[in-house]
């Protein structure tokens, strides 16, 4: 394991717009995240959570300050270099699942590998394995309309895992699910974190879901207002059977 923290935001600001209409969404955020942590990002609407997640996910760059990911200064990277970093190290899960509608679970999960130019056989095998790891073996040929919300989110998680990311970024992953389904998804994320070493960063406004995290970072008005360890995370079950090759790759150089 690298001695460096996996993620460091240093005095990060983000301003949208210019002049009189400029809005400072982040006002100086310092945040250090070690590989293997499970962080819930909370805070009221408009406090900067999504902006911070976009930053952490290398989708956006700071107006000022630094973002160091595994020793690499993300703020100095080109758009293409950031895309490469995303493709190799980060997986994304969204509230609305964001699956292609008339496309099977298998094909949805294969998509990131298609973008990477992986050959057909390798895509098939990896997608099947990822779907099995989220409890969806046998559902490969179903389209999203034939799956429940909880199953759709599992497909989305499999799609995020298929590239074997070091970090999973989840933006309100249970926001569209009932309590039971939400708990199942949280148990799955918990298992990926504790059993397979995948670092999880999750935005949520639900305290019950944040209770699964090992650490809770609370945003207010564009800054980190509190940052606390959760001594007793709610996760109990061991998660999916993701192969050990999916363990965090944070120690590898970029």
Using CB under 6 A as the criterion, which residues of the chain lie in contact with ligand ADP when the complex forms?
Answer: 16-17, 23, 25, 43, 45-51
Residue number, 53 or 126, with CB nearest to ligand ADP: 53
CB of 171 to ligand ADP, least distance (A): 9
How many Cα atoms occupy the beta-carbon half-sphere of 183 within 13 Å?
A: 7
Q: How far apart are CA 198 and CA 35, in angstroms?
A: 8
Residue number, 104 or 204, with CB nearest to ligand ADP: 204
Residue number, 48 or 239, with CB nearest to ligand ADP: 48
**Phi and psi at residue 24, in whole multiples of 5°?**
-90, 105
CB of 60 to ligand ADP, least distance (A): 9
Nearest Cα to 112, choosing from 167, 157, 55, 173?
Answer: 157
CB of 205 to ligand ADP, least distance (A): 9
Residue number, 24 or 143, with CB nearest to ligand ADP: 24
Residue number, 49 or 181, with CB nearest to ligand ADP: 49
User: Is residue 78 helix, strand or coil?
Assistant: coil
Q: How far apart are CA 109 and CA 146, in angstroms?
A: 16
Place of tokens 């095998």: 125
CB of 159 to ligand ADP, least distance (A): 23
Taking each helix axis from N to C terminus, what angle separates 149-161 and 120-133, rounded to the nearest 10 degrees?
130
Structure tokens at 76: 């100095």
Q: How far apart are CA 196 and CA 145, in angstroms?
A: 30
Residue number, 128 or 174, with CB nearest to ligand ADP: 174
Q: How is residue 150 annotated by DSSP?
A: H
CB of 146 to ligand ADP, least distance (A): 32
Q: Give the CA dihedral 2, 85, 73, 199, nearest 10 degrees.
A: -40
CB of 210 to ligand ADP, least distance (A): 14
């Amino acid at each position: 394991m690298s001695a460096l923290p996996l993620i460091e935001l240093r005095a990060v600001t983000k301003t949208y717009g210019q002049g009189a209409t400029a809005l400072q969404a982040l006002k100086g955020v310092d945040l250090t995240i070690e590989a293997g942590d499970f962080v819930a990002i909370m805070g009221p609407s408009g406090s900067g959570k999504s902006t911070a997640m976009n930053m952490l996910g290398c989708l956006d760059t700071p107006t000022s300050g630094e973002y160091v990911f595994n020793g690499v200064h993300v703020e100095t990277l080109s758009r293409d270099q950031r895309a490469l970093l995303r493709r190799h190290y980060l997986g994304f899960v969204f509230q609305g699942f964001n699956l292609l509608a008339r496309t099977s679970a298998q094909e949805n999960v294969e998509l990131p590998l298609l973008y990477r130019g992986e050959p057909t056989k390798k895509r098939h095998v990896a997608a099947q394995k990822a779907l099995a790891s989220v409890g969806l073996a046998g559902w490969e040929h179903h389209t999203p309309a034939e799956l429940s919300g909880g199953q759709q989110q599992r497909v989305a998680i499999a799609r995020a895992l298929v590239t074997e990311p070091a970090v999973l970024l989840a933006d309100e992953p249970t926001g569209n699910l009932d309590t039971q389904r939400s708990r199942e998804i949280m148990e799955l994320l918990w298992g990926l974190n504790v059993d397979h070493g995948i670092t999880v960063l999750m935005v949520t406004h639900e305290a019950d879901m944040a209770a699964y995290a090992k650490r809770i970072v609370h945003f207010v008005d564009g800054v980190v207002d509190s940052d606390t360890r959760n001594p007793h995370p709610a996760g109990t079950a061991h998660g999916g059977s993701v192969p050990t090759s999916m363990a965090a790759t944070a120690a590898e150089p970029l």
